[in-house]
């Protein structure tokens, strides 16, 4: 209750009242008698949101974000396992703290926190696997009626094959389900979801390596870590680590750092770095000269070309610029930079 009220007050610009409610939420979360797992989760949420509220009004303080990270894994759950470790709050806290560090030009610290954020991305495949096992073990669960309706419609699109794959999986016909999930992906319907289902079927058939490959690809699509690689590359480039920046840009290009379509929920780790942090990140870099801080494939190629220039690898710089122009002929900056390099093949342009 206090946390929701604090968020409403913060959004309304009532900062002093919001601070009081955030403090009350933190006190309540850690009160004696509170279940350990809930205490950690609620305290993390309150610290994270208070830190974000302070940041949004121009106070890039790090203590709240550091507290979220410190709380991770500090209390045992009812099963004796640590809680809070690797969850959305920890992931977001690393991102928030990295952005706070850019505001005071602590690029090394920000880069380190982005690296930690990559390691703390929530793992959704295992959660999905547990859910699928529960569905399979539930004899009353059936998708037969819906599948029959889709077959009557006669539109065998990607969604149809996803539903048919789910139906076959519930019947424990895992090999046939794998074929349907693959067909659904080939028709470009929710590739990440089909990968997660296909990975589960492979695991049930004993194909551990195949399952993990599908889970990894599904998480990359869901979580969009390409954006974090992109921003870490920007920090490395600003810090003069051009080799490291190139490596990160290559990974960002492989994963495609574009934002996901549609508005994310506030607690969605998937798109948070773009929807809630991109403006802060760009503001933190506003006084530092760079190619571009907008996360997309064209920018990644352009920035990588600038890194190759700095390394004296002019041929590779030209190749990156040419690759942009093959896909985006109206990219004026790339065209201009390529013209400069073609007119000065020996000494790279600063």
Kindly list the domain boundaries of the chain, sorted by start residue: 2-122, 126-223, 226-342
Model confidence at 178: pLDDT above 90: yes
Q: Which of 48-57, 268-277, 323-332 has the lowest mean pLDDT?
A: 268-277
Residues 6+ apart with CB under 8 A from 11: none
Model confidence at 75: pLDDT above 60: no
C-alpha dihedral over 249, 250, 255, 258, to 10 degrees?
Answer: 30
Same fold yes or no, 2-122 and 226-342: yes
- Cα–Cα distances in angstroms (integers) from residue 103 to residues 53, 307, 318, in the given order: 15, 23, 33
Instruction: Give the pLDDT confidence of 127-177 residue by residue, as tens digits.
Output: 677 778 888 877 666 667 888 888 888 888 999 999 999 999 988 999 999
Residue 84's pLDDT band (cuts 50, 70, 90): very low
The pair of three-digit structure tokens given for residue 265, joined into one six-digit string? 């929920």
Query: Mean per-residue pLDDT for 205-234?
Result: 85
For the chain, the average pLDDT equals: 78
Cα distance from N-terminal residue to C-terminal residue, the chain: 55
CB atoms within 10 A of CB 57: 10
Please give the pLDDT value at position 225: 81
Instruction: Give the pLDDT confidence of 291-305 residue by residue, as tens digits.
Output: 667 778 888 999 999
Please give the pLDDT value at position 291: 60
Query: Mean per-residue pLDDT for 107-129?
Result: 82
Q: Which of 110-119, 175-184, 266-275, 341-350 has the lowest mean pLDDT?
A: 266-275
Angle at 235 between CA 232 and CA 239, to 5 degrees: 140
Residue 201's pLDDT band (cuts 50, 70, 90): very high
The CATH number of the domain covering residues in 226-342? 1.25.40.10
Model confidence at 183: pLDDT above 90: yes
Query: Mean per-residue pLDDT for 264-288?
Result: 51
The pair of three-digit structure tokens given for residue 36, joined into one six-digit string? 């350990």
Residue 269's pLDDT band (cuts 50, 70, 90): very low
Tell me which residue of 274, 243, 237 sits closest to 257, measured CA to CA: 274
The CATH number of the domain covering residues in 126-223? 1.25.40.10
Residue count (the chain): 350
Spatial contact of 320 and 302, defined as CB atoms under 8 Å apart: yes
CB atoms within 10 A of CB 56: 16
The pair of three-digit structure tokens given for residue 169, joined into one six-digit string? 């999986």
Spatial contact of 96 and 67, defined as CB atoms under 8 Å apart: no
CB atoms within 10 A of CB 345: 10
The CATH number of the domain covering residues in 2-122? 1.25.40
Its pTM stands at: 0.69
């Amino acid at each position: 209750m206090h946390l929701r009220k604090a968020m409403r007050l913060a959004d309304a610009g009532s900062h002093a009242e919001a601070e009081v409610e955030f403090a009350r939420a933190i006190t309540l979360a850690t009160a004696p008698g509170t279940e350990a797992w809930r205490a950690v989760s609620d305290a993390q949420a309150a610290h994270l949101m208070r830190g974000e509220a302070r940041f949004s009004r121009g106070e890039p303080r790090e203590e709240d974000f550091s507290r979220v990270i410190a709380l991770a894994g500090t209390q045992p759950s009812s099963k004796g396992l640590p809680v809070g470790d690797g969850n959305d709050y920890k992931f977001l806290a690393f991102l928030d703290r990295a952005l706070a560090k850019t505001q005071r030009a602590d690029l090394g610290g920000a880069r380190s926190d982005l690296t930690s954020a990559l390691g703390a991305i929530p793992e959704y495949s295992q959660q999905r696997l547990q859910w699928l096992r529960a569905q399979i073990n539930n004899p009353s669960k059936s998708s037969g009626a819906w599948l029959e309706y889709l077959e009557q419609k006669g539109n065998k699109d990607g969604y149809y094959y996803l539903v048919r794959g789910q139906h076959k999986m519930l019947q424990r016909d895992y090999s046939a389900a794998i074929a349907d999930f693959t067909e659904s992906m080939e028709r470009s319907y929710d590739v990440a979801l089909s990968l997660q289902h296909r990975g589960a079927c492979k695991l049930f058939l004993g194909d551990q390596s195949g399952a993990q490959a599908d889970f990894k690809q599904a998480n990359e699509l869901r979580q969009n870590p390409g954006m974090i690689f992109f921003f870490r590359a920007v920090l490395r480039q600003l810090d003069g680590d051009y080799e490291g920046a190139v490596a990160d840009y290559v990974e960002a290009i492989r994963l495609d750092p574009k934002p996901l379509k549609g508005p994310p929920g506030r607690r969605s780790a998937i798109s948070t770095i773009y929807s809630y942090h991109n403006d802060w990140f760009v503001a933190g870099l506003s006084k530092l000269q760079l190619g571009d801080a907008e996360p997309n494939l064209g920018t990644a190629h352009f920035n990588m070309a600038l890194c190759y220039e700095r390394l004296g690898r002019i041929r590779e710089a030209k190749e990156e610029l040419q690759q942009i122009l093959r896909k985006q002929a109206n990219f004026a900056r790339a065209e201009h930079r390529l013209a400069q390099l073609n007119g000065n093949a020996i000494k790279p342009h600063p």
